[in-house]
Amino acid sequence: MKLIILDRDGVINQDSAQFIKSPDEWKPIPGSLEAISRLAESGYRVIVATNQSGVGRGLFDMDTLNAINDKMMKAVAAVGGRIDAIFFCPHAADSTCDCRKPKPGMFRQIAERFNVDLAGLPTVGDSMRDLQAGIAVGCTPYLVLTGKGAKTAVDPDLPVGTKVFPDLAAVANHLLTLKA
């Protein structure tokens, strides 16, 4: 199965240090929606795995998170794409849960739900924790320079073998060229 795991904030949409707390604050990064569409059209199952500690911090509730994700799904569909599933961790940063990246719990849930070995599958993030969660289950890490990515790219602990691209559109171009 061709499957790709994407972080949300900073990869698909603009990120904010104050969190994305409403559908109005959700703004796609130019080219990201079309990239998802192209990946889906070429047979990828597109999965989003995102930390959403704003829920655990009380900054927004589950209905608001669902509305934000609904806006994202509709925006992707409007350009002919689809997101097959959204996995999220609603817990605050100080939680001991296993689902908050960099822990691999969300990725294990994805593997179980889709009955797939994640080894070698691409995961795309803009932060070290995104990459670490994917690496823990054998994914190939892709770093985008959008969101927090430019800062992450110069981290001396950037995992060896991380592929770095300007944005999600460039990752899609690369992956679709490999599959051609």
Sheet of 122-125, strands arranged across: 85-89, 45-51, 3-6, 122-125, 140-144, 163-165
As a three-state string, the secondary structure of 19-73 is CCCCHHHCCECCCHHHHHHHHHHCCCEEEEEEECHHHHCCCCCHHHHHHHHHHHH
Active-site residue, 9 included: yes
Say how far apart CA 138 and CA 122 lie, in whole Å.
9
Q: In terms of residue numbers, what domain contains 129?
A: 3-179
- Residue 10's CATH number: 3.40.50.1000
Which tens digits make up the pLDDT trace of 106-151? 999 999 999 999 999 999 999 999 999 999 999 999 999 999 999 9
Confidence (pTM): 0.96
Q: How many helices (H) does the chain have, and how many strands (E)? A: 7, 6
Average pLDDT over residues 24-38: 98
Active-site residue, 24 included: no
**pLDDT given at position 1:** 81
**pLDDT given at position 119:** 97
Which residue of the set 9, 15, 126, 167 is catalytic? 9
Which residue of the set 7, 126, 130, 167 is catalytic? 7
Q: How many domains does the chain have?
A: 1
**Going by C-beta distance under 8 Å and a sequence separation of 6 or more, which residues neighbour residue 103?**
97, 133, 136
Longest Cα separation, the chain? 46
